[in-house]
A and B are shown apart, each in its own frame.
Chain A
C-alpha cells in the first residue's frame, strides 16, 4: 500500500500512520487527531502579517509544524483555550 493523501500536507503511510508529505515523519495513527504530535507555535494573529493585522490582538494564530522537517502542516485561528480543530479522514 502506498501513501494516501489526507490533506494538502499529510498522508497515511504504509504503516497506517499519519505522516508529513514532505519528509514522511509520523504523527500518530491513521484516523486519530494528529496535531498533538506536531510542534505548535501559538502567537497573537497581529503578528501574522503587516500593519492590517494590528487589530487582531486577542485571536491566536496556531501554526502546526512537522517535527521532522519544520514544514508548516496547518494553521488555525483560535481564542485561547479553544480546542484544536480536528479533521479525520478515513483511509
Chain B
C-alpha cells in the first residue's frame, strides 16, 4: 500500500473515534461522563483485537478487546448487522459492574469487518449502594446487575425486554437509559464512519491498512524496547482499607524487545471490593505504558504482542469469583497503574536517550466520592464528585508536576465547576483550591493536589448521603522518582456540627479552611455517611510524586513556591534547606542550612550495617 493512502486511512480511524466520543458526550447527561471523561471509545479488528485505541481511561482499551472476543465466542453464528452487545461482567472483561461495555459489530457487504466498543460508568447499576461503588459488598452478587454478554440491540432495533429488565434493576433508570443511549449513538457513529471509509477506499485496502497499522505498532514498539536497557525493576504499592493493608508488588523485566509484568507476591484477594480481575490488571499496566512508551505509536494490538503478565490467581490483582470488585478502578487497578508507571519510569531513567520521558507517579489515589439522595428539585440524584479526576501531576525529569494536573491513565480527565455540582446536588462548597505541601518534594516537585469542603444546602431531606471508598489515607501512593519524595496521602474529615458555638463565641458559618471549622473533625475513609444539618465534609487529595533530590532544587524556585503559596516556608527550610524571607532567599542561611542537612546525611548508617 502506498504510504499516503495508509496515512490517510490511519488518520481517518483517529477521526472516527473522535466523532464517536463527541457523540457519546452530546447524548450522555451525567457529569462523570461529560466532566470527568470517565469514558472510552475504541475500534477493534474483526477478531476483537485492538485496532485503534481511543481516549478516556486507557485501561479499558484492552479490556474492551476482551469484551469483543467474549461476545464473538458467546454469540458465534448470531452476530448480525446492527446488533449491539452488552457486557459488564468483571470476570469476563469489564473492570467493575458499573463500567458497561457496549460492543457493536461493523459489517460491510454482509461481512463482519470490525468492531466498535465504548464504555461509560453508568449512573447506577443496582449495587448495594447507589452509584456502584459498594464498600459494604462482600461478593460480586451484591454489586449489581452483571452480564457476561447479552444482545441489547438486534438489527438496529432495541430489544425492549432486555432493556427494560436492566432498567428494572437500577436506580434512576431514566439516567441509565440515557447512558446506554449515548453508547449506542457512539457506536452508530463509529459504524457509519467506518463504512464510509471502506466505501471510499475499498474493503480490502482498508483491511490491509488496518493489518499494516497493527504490524507497524509492533515493529515500532519492539524497536523502542530494543533501544532501552535490559533489566528488572521493582515497585511496591500499599493501600489501607478498614485496617487491612494490601500490597501490590510488581517486578518488570525487559529483555531485548519483550516486557514481562510479574505481580508475584501481591496480597491475597481482599474481603473488600478493591480487588481486580486478570484482565483489569492487564489493562492496568497498559494505561501508563501507552502514553509513556508509545506516545508516538498507534495504540493497538501490536503494542500488546511483546508483553506478558504473571498475576497470581486468588490475589488482589487476579481475584477469583465471587470476590467483590466494585471499587477495583480506584483500588487494585490504580495500584497497578502506579506500580507500572514507577517501573517504566525507572527503565526510562536508565537510558540517556529516554530519561527525559520519565515521570514520577501522578495522582496515585483516586478519592472517588459518590453522593446520593434527593436534590433541591426533589429528584433522585446520584453522582461522583468529579474533583477525583482533578488529579495532581507527577514531577518530570525536567519540570514540576502540574498542580491539580490530572493523571496518566486518563489524559482527558477533568473536574466540573463547583456550580455544576451545586446544581446537581443540594450542597454548597465552602472552598476549593490547590492544597499547599501535598506535592512530593524533589529537585522538581510533584504537583499539589486539591482540597475542598461541602455543606448541605436547600435539601428537602435536610441533607444528602455520600460514599467514601478511601484508600491512600495512610500511604502515599504517588511514588517519587530518582530521589524525589512521594506525594502526600489523601484525607477525609467528617466535621460534626460545624456551626457549633462554643464558649459563646460567634462562629463563622463560612470557614475557608479546615482549621477554621469549629466542629469535631472525625477521620473517615470507608463507608456511607450523611452530610446533614450543620455537618461538613472536608476532602484533601493526594499530591504527585517528586523527582530528584530536594536539596538540588534551585532556591529561587523554592522561594517562588513559597510566595505563590504552593509550599510552606517551614517545608522550604526543613525539607529543601532554603531559608526564605519576604525579600527573597537568604542565601547565606540557605547555604548553611543545606550544608548542615548534607552533613546529617553523612552521619546516617550504611544500610547493610
Within 8 A of B (CB), among A14-70: 35-41, 45, 48-53, 55-59, 61, 63-65, 67, 70
**Is the beta-carbon distance between B476 and A50 smaller than 8 angstroms?**
no
Which of A55, A58, A65 is within 8 Å of B604, CB to CB? A65
Cα distance A13–B568 in the bound complex, in angstroms: 40
Contact of B486 among A77, A82, A84, A91 (CB under 8 A): A77
Complex contact A52–B350 (CB within 8 A): no
Contact residues in A for B473 (Cβ distance below 8 Å): 55
Report A73-91 residues with CB < 8 Å from chain B CB.
73-79, 82, 84-91
Task: Name B541-580 residues within 8 Å CB distance of A.
Answer: 543, 547-551, 567-568, 570-571, 575
User: A78: shortest Cβ distance to chain B, in Å?
Assistant: 7
Give the chain A neighbours of B232 by CB distance below 8 A: 86-88
- The answer to whether A50 and B238 touch (CB under 8 A), given A39-B602, A59-B475, is no
CB pair A79 B245 closer than 8 Å:
yes
Chain A residues, Cβ within 8 Å of B350: 5-7, 89
CB B359 to nearest CB in A, in angstroms, measures 11
Q: Does B352 contact A (CB under 8 A)?
A: yes
Q: Give the Cβ gap from B153 to chain A, nearest Cβ, in Å.
A: 48
Contact with A along B341-364 (1 / 0, CB 8 A): 000001001111001001000000
Beta-carbon contact of A9 and B230 below 8 Å: no
Complex Cα gap A88–B343 (Å): 11
Chain B 104-140, CB within 8 Å of chain A: the 1/0 string? 0000000000000000000000000000000000000
B305 to chain A, nearest CB (A): 23
Name the one of A7, A38, A89 contacting B230, with C-beta atoms under 8 angstroms. A89
Taken together as a complex, chains A and B put the C-alpha atoms of A30 and B356 apart, in Å, by 23
Whether a CB of chain A sits under 8 angstroms from the CB of B59 is no
Interface contact B346-A87, CB-CB below 8 Å: yes
- In B426-446, the 8 Å CB interface with A consists of 435-438, 440-441
**Cβ contacts under 8 Å, B236 to chain A:** 76-78, 82, 85
Chain A nearest CB from B299 CB (Å) reads 27
CA distance A8 to B356 in the complex (A): 10
By a CB distance below 8 angstroms, the chain B residues around A53 are: 437, 476, 488-489
B101 shortest CB reach to chain A, Å: 35
| Interfacial chain B residues near A57, Cβ < 8 Å | 474
Which residues of B have CB within 8 Å of A90?
229-231
From A52, A87, A91, B435 is in contact (CB under 8 Å) with A52
| Interchain CA distance A75-B476 in the complex, whole Å | 12
Q: Is the CB of A59 within 8 A of B605?
A: no
In the complex, A89 Cα to B231 Cα: how many Å?
4
In the bound complex, CA of A74 to CA of B570 (Å): 23
Q: Are A91 and B229 in contact (CB under 8 A)?
A: yes
Which among B484, B489, B523 has the greatest number of chain A C-beta atoms within 10 A? B489
Bound Cα distance from A38 to B154, whole angstroms: 65
Which B residues between 209 and 247 are near A, CB-CB below 8 angstroms? 229-236, 238, 245
Q: Tell me the complex Cα distance, A7–B479, Å.
A: 16
B482–A8 touching, CB < 8 Å: yes
Q: Please, which residues of chain B bring their CB within 8 A of the CB of A45?
A: 475-476, 486
Name the CB-closest residue of A to B252. A87
Give the interface residue-count category, chain A.
35 or more
Pair count A-B, CB < 8 A:
160
Residue pair B482, A74 in contact (C-beta under 8 Å):
yes
How many residues on chain B are close to A (CB under 8 Å)?
Answer: 61
Write the B484-513 contact mask toward A (1 if CB under 8 angstroms, else 0): 111011010000000000000000000000
Q: Are A39 and B438 in contact (CB under 8 A)?
A: no
- Indicate whether B481 reaches chain A with its CB closer than 8 angstroms: yes
Cβ contact within 8 Å between B482 and A9: yes
Q: Give Cα A61 to B604, complex, Å.
A: 14
Whether B491 and A58, one on each chain, are in contact in the complex, defined by CB atoms closer than 8 angstroms, is no
Q: Indicate which residue in B235, B435, B441, B601 contacts A48 across the interface (CB closer than 8 Å).
A: B441
* Cβ–Cβ < 8 Å partners of A63 in chain B: 483, 601
| Complex partner residue of B474 from A59, A65, A73, CB under 8 angstroms | A59
Residues of A near B543 (CB, < 8 A) are 52
- The docked-state distance in angstroms from the alpha carbon of A64 to that of B480 is 13
Instruction: Let me know if B607 is at the binding interface, CB within 8 A.
Output: yes
Q: Which of B351, B355, B475, B540 has the most CB of A within 10 A?
A: B475
Question: B397: nearest residue on chain A (CB-CB)?
Answer: A8
Decide: B474 and A55 in contact? CB cutoff 8 A: yes
**For the complex, is B608 an interface residue (Cβ under 8 Å from A)?**
yes
Closest to B548 in A: A8
Q: Is B551 a contact partner of A72 (Cβ separation < 8 A)?
A: yes
Check A8/B483 contact, CB under 8 A, given A40-B604, A77-B238: yes
Across the two chains, which residue of chain B brings its CB closest to A6? B350
Partner of A56, one of B436, B474, B568: B474
Complex contact B606–A52 (CB within 8 A) = no
Indicate whether B598 reaches chain A with its CB closer than 8 angstroms. yes
A45 to B479, CA, bound (A): 12
Known: A8-B358, A50-B436, A55-B491. A75 touches B229 (CB 8 A): no
Q: Closest residue of chain A to B342, judged by CB?
A: A85
Q: Which residue of B lies closest to A45 (CB)?
A: B476
Asked whether A59 lies within 8 Å of B607 as measured between CB atoms, the reply is no
Contact, CB under 8 Å: B474 / A75? no
- Among candidates A36, A56, A87, residue contacting B476 with C-beta atoms closer than 8 Å: A56
Given contacts A7-B346, A37-B607, A49-B575, contact A87 B234 (CB under 8 A): yes
Asked if A39 and B571 sit within 8 Å, CB to CB, the answer is no
Please give me the residue from chain B that is nearest to A48 by CB atom.
Answer: B485
Interface of A toward B, CB cutoff 8 Å? 5-9, 35-41, 45, 48-53, 55-59, 61, 63-65, 67, 70-79, 82, 84-91
10 sampled A-B residue pairs with Cβ under 8 A? A6-B231, A39-B606, A41-B604, A48-B575, A56-B488, A59-B476, A64-B607, A74-B483, A89-B230, A89-B350
6 closest Cβ pairs, A-B complex: A8-B482, A50-B437, A52-B488, A36-B608, A40-B607, A72-B549
- Other than the given A79-B245, A85-B234, 8 more pairs (CB < 8 A) read A8-B355, A9-B482, A36-B608, A53-B476, A55-B474, A55-B491, A65-B604, A74-B483
